[in-house]
Amino acid sequence: MHRHIFQKSLAAIAAGALAVTSLAVLPSFSASAATTILSSDFSNGSSGWSTYKASGGSCSMGVENGKLALTVNSVGTLNYSVQVGYDVVPLYQNGVYRLKYDISSTEDCTVEQMIQQNGGTYQSYTWKGLDLTAETQTVDYTFTMKQETDIMSKLVFNCGYEGKDVAPHTIYLDNVSLELIDDSKVDYTSFQPYEPSIITDQVGYQPNSKKTAVFRDVTSETTFSVVNADTKQTVYTGTLSDSINNSPARETEWTGDFSAVTEPGSYYITCGDLDQSYTFTISDSVYDTLLTDSVKMLYLQRCGTEIEDDTFGHVACHNTKATIYGTSETIDVSGGWHDAGDYGRYVVPGAKTVADLLYAYAASPSSYGDATGIPEIVKYLFNSSNVAEQPPRLAHTTLAPTFIVLSK
């Protein structure tokens, strides 16, 4: 019973992450008028904003008198030791943008404002150095996105060390806006992926679970149908919910509940003139492979070693020494995992993942076998000098391609 509950919990977490990913969409723009990308006056809080601290930096963020207030206790040792920023700022190549905000500080200091790549090399698409005083200054300028389109960039303010220590102080930010003011030279067709009008859970649904689909691009449609993918017969017809404004995605959405469909099988959903959904599965076993898929993902994300896989395989990467920032000293930082969808590698996420793997195994050893498809496990099994002995169970560590022998 314990194993079953544990596996369901892991599967539910993984399925939730995949389901959220499937709902991410790109905003649609028009050249006919300026399009607001970001607008924060902090009258209702600081949603979307966050801080980052490193190398001795210390800060806290709040809202005071309708302004974002970043209290910097220590500037640390790097320019980004204290950072405040807003995630997910889409920038389109050749688009012309206008960025505007009000900023001040209780102590004279220097900060850097950038819109940058949120990962990878963290390249800056626009940069401005600012000398702050207690007097509020309004920054208002336009720039053209000259690099390739980046729909996941980030607006950041580096408030860390800039050549001198600064006493504890508070930086105030208000009326932040970013507009796309000219997209006449933007070629949206060159990168815009297909955006399905009907979104279902890409993992699938269990027979007796709640089943919901999300609809967009709806015009006059009021009902939807669930169709058996094998027989092409409609097995259920339902009514769309009232429309919902999804402001982060900049779109209007409807939902449709088809929990009444419980028969295992493959299905898709239709709704008027909208493109039909991708085919999905209803089955008791839809979550069965999520645990092994997650473990396999850790193998595919390895850095510094050859990856053996028909789809994601590659030769060993990033196996040269790295240069310590601001010096000519080099050190060996090979190994570890690539982070998320980029090539960044971070000590804390790596250590946290190892801890989570060990904790998960300790909680339910029987949930973890050797059928993960990780090459060295297969090689170990076939090259074992004592084939009569049950091989140890393995968990991949952050220092790929090594592994920990957990138990017999």
Query: Once rounded to an integer, what is the mean pLDDT over residues 180-191?
Result: 89
Average pLDDT over residues 288-311: 88
pLDDT at 12: 36
Q: Which residues contact 189 (CB under 8 A, 6 or more apart)?
A: none
Residues 226-244 have pLDDT tens digits of 999 999 999 999 999 999 9
Rounded average pLDDT over 49-69? 95
What would the two tokens of residue 139 be?
């920054």
Catalogue the E-assigned strands of 57-208: 57-64, 67-75, 82-91, 96-105, 109-116, 124-132, 137-144, 150-158, 169-182, 198-199
Helices (H), 185-309: 290-300
Convert the pLDDT of each residue in 99-120 to its tens digit.
999 999 999 999 999 999 998 8
For 113, the token pair is: 């404002």
Q: What pLDDT, on the 0 to 100 scale, is given for residue 112?
A: 97
With bands split at pLDDT 50, 70 and 90, how would you rate the model's confidence at 70? Answer: very high
Would you give the end-to-end CA distance of the chain in angstroms? 22
Above pLDDT 90, what percent of the chain? 57
- Is-contact 397 353, C-beta < 8 A? no
How high is the pLDDT of residue 289?
87
Query: CA gyration radius for the chain?
Result: 25
**Strands 57-64 and 67-75, bridge-based pairing:** antiparallel
pTM reported for the whole predicted model: 0.52
The SS3 call for residue 306 is coil
Q: Domains in the chain and their CATH numbers?
A: 2-25+195-282 (2.60.40.10), 35-189 (2.60.120.260), 290-407 (no CATH)
Nearest to 143 by CA among 123, 118, 124: 124
* Chain segment 358-402, per-residue pLDDT in tens: 998 899 888 887 777 787 765 554 454 444 444 444 333 333 333
DSSP state of 121: T
Tokens of 142: 């336009």
- DSSP designation for 190: G
Alpha-carbon span 213 to 236, nearest angstrom: 13
Closest CA to 408 of 393, 395, 397, 387: 393
Cα→Cα distances 233→102, 228, 237, 277, 278, Å: 59, 5, 11, 15, 16
- Binning pLDDT at 50, 70 and 90, where does residue 136 land? very high
Q: Are 332 and 321 in contact (CB under 8 A)?
A: yes
Per-residue pLDDT tens for 186-197? 998 777 677 899
Q: What is the pLDDT of residue 378?
A: 54
Confidence (pLDDT) at 293:
86
Q: What is the overall mean pLDDT for the chain?
A: 84
pLDDT tens for 314-344 read: 888 888 888 887 788 999 988 888 887 777 7
